[in-house]
Chain A
Amino acid sequence: MENIKTKQSRGKRLLQYIRKNRLIYLMMIPALGCWLLFKVGPLFGMVIAFQDYSPFKGILGSPFIGLENFMRIFKEPYMLTLIRNTVLLALYTLVFSFTVPVAFALFLNELKNSLVKKGVQSISFLPYFISSAVMVSILYTMVSPTTGVINMMLVKLGMEPIYFMAQPGWFRPLYVILQIWQTCGYYGIIYMAAIMSIDPSIYEAASVDGASRWQKMMKITLPGIKTTVVVMLIVAVGNIFSVDLDRILLMYNPSVYETADVLQTYVYRLSFQSTGFPDYGYATAVNMVKSVIAFLLVILTNKLSKKYAETRLF
């Protein structure tokens, strides 16, 4: 008897709760539905990594083949090249596009003229909003062997023109240069904000003690932004597998595959540029291995940043 009573009142309370929130629920339905369908929905499609997927049979009709797709990954000799390219590209990007903005922000902060400071900051931030297609188009124009400004200068200096876009050795440097160009100002702003939050009285005290400008930069400013730098580094390590796919797809061509082909571009070609029936199951398996490693890295780095900087990233 008592049991039923509490059940009833619980039901009543739930009903009351729903009634109180009914407008919130109503508002939530389209937005949440949109997000569930388009962002969470595809996650279920990942089962095709365990299937011999055929578009005609669909996900429900295709036979499960266990880990066969994953076993194929280990047998594929080209996978080694892909992994090496992915990791190397990510490492180069990490080293350069991470250190350059720190130095940039440090020296930008030393500018006395605030108008110049603002101007430099605004201009350097602009490339962050320019699309990969535009950036790569500009790159092609500038390094063109016949009409590009770079090769014209090389010729003037008495050198042979270089076919930048067709040489595997040039792919990584060009990719990293574009990365620095695109993100230097963006990270510069983050570091500048960290510098601004340093207590000015520390600098005054140092000046009284006769510290030089260089000493202040190295002993106050740099340690002052240490936390931000470390958090940014951890984020960068966590994202090490997320290369800029748009940029690579626009930059590469078969003659530079030996350095430019990474896991993501390989998956893209398997699924959208293969002749005959694309091997969706296998391509998804490759992508899944990458995603799992990336996921573990992000979780690990999030733990690290929590421990180190006392701020979680999410």
Chain B
Amino acid sequence: MKRKHRKIKLFDVVNSIVMILIALVCVYPFLYIFFQSVSDGYSLVNGEVVFFAKGWNLEAYKYIFQNTNLNIMQGFRNSAVYTVLGMLFALVMTFILAYVLTRRSLKERFAIRKLLVLSWVFEAGIIPTYILFSKLGFVDNPLAMVIPNAISTQYLMITMSFFNGIPEELDDAAYVDGANTFQILWKIYVPLSKAIIATIGMFYAVMIWNQYLFPQIYLKNPKYYTIQQILKNVVISDDGGTRTFPTVIQNGVLINPQNLKAATVFMAMLPIVCVYPFVQKYFKSGILIGSVKG
């Protein structure tokens, strides 16, 4: 009996250690990039920055801020603007469409929902989409990041499944009191749906911020580049790192291309890392609704 007890304890200890190790492995690449961005160039070249930063400084970030010809700050601003506008537009469109498609009084809703599933499962592919979107004037147009992707079928379905849980008698009661559909939506449904609005909004924001292929196809003018496109150009395509970034001494600190690359990568993920702790519970509930009902 006693031996069994000890065995269980051992399992717990080993299991805890393994799980914490897994978490560390998950987060280590992000920390590695961060440490590289805040270390000095000498320590980097000597290979001393592995598990911790050496020679703490923020010169790499300052350099990126000051040298606007690198376009990194511009890409960051572009992405931020696309993300905020795109999220707001997508939220409004998704919210209204989900509300309409869950009204019992709308007889056409089943037909529309069928079409919805069809368009979800059967994608047209990038070329027919490109031909249409270029006809509509979305090539080299920042609105391409805001308008065409406004309604994601998956998030629409998550919102619809949430609305299905709200009794429609609420509508009827409000109608009797003389409210119209807009008022019902604004005064009853919006306050009731704060959680789902936060969830879907965050999903859209992450989706737009992270997009790479879509802007790569539509935004060819460097002044419209997103931060992800810039990453591709300065970190991935420029593997040696010497075409974009120089080695300089700034405020007495040596910074080399490797510092600057790491700082760029870290900036591209910073907004997500910053909001993640506050919104992860919404994300969790979002994927659970999506996986059960989606």
| Interface check A59, CB cutoff 8 A | yes
Which residues in B have their C-beta under 8 angstroms from that of A48? 127-128, 131
**Among A27, A165, A186, A271, which residue has its beta carbon within 8 angstroms of that of B239?**
A165
B80 interfacial contact with A, CB 8 Å: no
Stretch in contact with the other chain, from B53-61, B193-201, B207-215, B243-251: B207-215
Q: Considering the chains assembled together, what is the distance between the CA atoms of A149 and B44 in angstroms?
A: 10
Which residues from A are CB-within-8-Å of B173?
none
With an 8 A cutoff between CB atoms, is A43 at the interface?
A: yes
Residues of A within 8 A of B129 (CB): 42, 45
A168-186 interface code vs B (CB 8 A; 1 in, 0 out): 0000000000000100111
User: Which residue of chain B lies nearest to A127 when distances are taken between CB atoms in the complex?
Assistant: B26
Q: Does B221 contact A (CB under 8 A)?
A: no
A34 and B32 contacting across the interface, CB-CB below 8 Å:
no
Q: Is A152 an interface residue (CB 8 A)?
A: yes
Contact B119 A40 (CB under 8 A): yes
Residues of A within 8 A of B157 (CB): 314
B84 within 8 A of A: no
A313 within 8 A of B: yes
Beta-carbon contact of A34 and B29 below 8 Å: no
Name the one of B8, B124, B269, B288 contacting A213, with C-beta atoms under 8 angstroms. Answer: B8
Residues facing A in B70-106 (CB within 8 A) are: 93-94, 96-97, 99-100, 103, 105-106
Per the bound structure, the CA–CA distance linking A43 and B119 in Å amounts to 8
> B141 contacts the other chain (Cβ, under 8 Å)?
no
Q: Is the CB of A133 within 8 A of B19?
A: no
Check if A160 is an interface residue, CB within 8 A of chain B. Answer: no
Report Cα–Cα, A205/B119, bound state, in Å. Answer: 48
A35 within 8 A of B: yes
**Cβ contacts under 8 Å, A31 to chain B:** 93-94, 96-97, 100, 151
Given contacts A42-B128, A45-B128, A108-B19, contact A134 B265 (CB under 8 A): yes
CB nearest neighbor in A for B175 = A20
Q: Tell me the B216-275 residues at the A interface (CB within 8 Å).
A: 216-217, 228-229, 231-232, 235-236, 239, 258, 261-262, 264-265, 268-269, 272-273
* B22 and A104 form a contact (CB under 8 A): yes
0 or 1 for each of A249-267: is its CB under 8 Å from B? (1 = yes): 1100000000000000001
B121 with A298: CB separation less than 8 A: yes
B50 contact set on A, CB distance < 8 A:
149, 152
Task: Check if A271 sits within 8 Å of B126, measured CB to CB.
Answer: yes
| Residue in B closest to A22 when the chains form the complex, CB atoms | B181
Contact of A215 with B by CB under 8 A = no
With a cutoff of 8 Å between Cβ atoms, the chain A residues found around residue B107 in the complex are: 17
B20 at the A interface (CB under 8 A): yes
Question: What distance in Å separates the Cβ of B160 from its nearest Cβ neighbour in chain A?
Answer: 11
Give residues of chain B (1-34) contacting chain A, Cβ–Cβ below 8 Å: 4, 8, 11-12, 15-16, 18-20, 22-23, 26-27, 29-30, 32-33
Contact of B100 among A24, A34, A136, A245 (CB under 8 A): A24
A298 CA / B126 CA spacing, docked (Å): 20
**A-B interface contact total, Cβ < 8 Å:** 245
| Complex: chain A residue closest to B180, CB-CB | A23
Docked CA distance A280–B283 (Å): 39
Q: Judge whether A141 and B284 touch: CB under 8 Å.
A: no
Q: What is the number of residues of chain A that contact chain B, defined by CB distance less than 8 Å?
A: 87
For B269, give its contact among A112, A131, A190, A314 (CB under 8 Å): A131
Q: Does A77 contact B (CB under 8 A)?
A: no
Which of A107, A129, A298 contacts B15, CB < 8 Å?
Answer: A107
Assess whether A250 is in contact with B128, with CB atoms less than 8 Å apart: no
Question: A75 at the A/B interface (Cβ < 8 Å)?
Answer: no
A104: nearest chain-B partner, CB-CB: B22
**A125: Cβ under 8 A from any B Cβ:** yes
Say yes or no for A120: interface residue by CB 8 A criterion: yes
Q: 1/0 contact trace for A127-168 toward B, CB 8 Å? A: 101111110111111101001010010000000000001000
Binds B, one of A4-12, A80-88, A91-99, A283-291: A283-291
**A1 interface contact, C-beta 8 A:** no
Which residues from B are CB-within-8-Å of A137?
Answer: 231, 235-236, 261, 264-265, 268
Nearest B residue to A232 by beta-carbon distance?
B291
A141 touches B131 (CB 8 A): no
Please pick, from A38, A272, A283, the residue contacting B148 in the complex, using a CB distance under 8 A: A38
Q: Which one, A24, A120, A122, contacts B280 given CB within 8 A?
A: A122
Where the two chains meet, the residues of A that have a C-beta atom closer than 8 Å to any C-beta of B are 17, 20-21, 23-24, 27-28, 30-32, 34-35, 37-46, 48, 55, 59, 104, 107-108, 110-113, 116, 119-120, 122-127, 129-134, 136-142, 144, 147, 149, 152, 165, 181, 184-186, 189-190, 193, 212-213, 245-246, 249-250, 267-268, 271-272, 280, 283-284, 287-288, 291, 295, 298-299, 313-314
Task: Apart from A133-B268, A137-B268, A284-B128, list 12 A-B contacts with CB within 8 A.
Answer: A31-B96, A34-B150, A34-B151, A44-B128, A111-B12, A138-B29, A140-B236, A147-B47, A249-B212, A283-B127, A288-B125, A314-B117
A sample of 15 inter-chain contacts (CB < 8 A) reads A24-B100, A45-B131, A108-B19, A111-B12, A116-B16, A116-B20, A133-B268, A137-B235, A137-B236, A138-B265, A140-B235, A189-B287, A284-B125, A287-B127, A291-B123
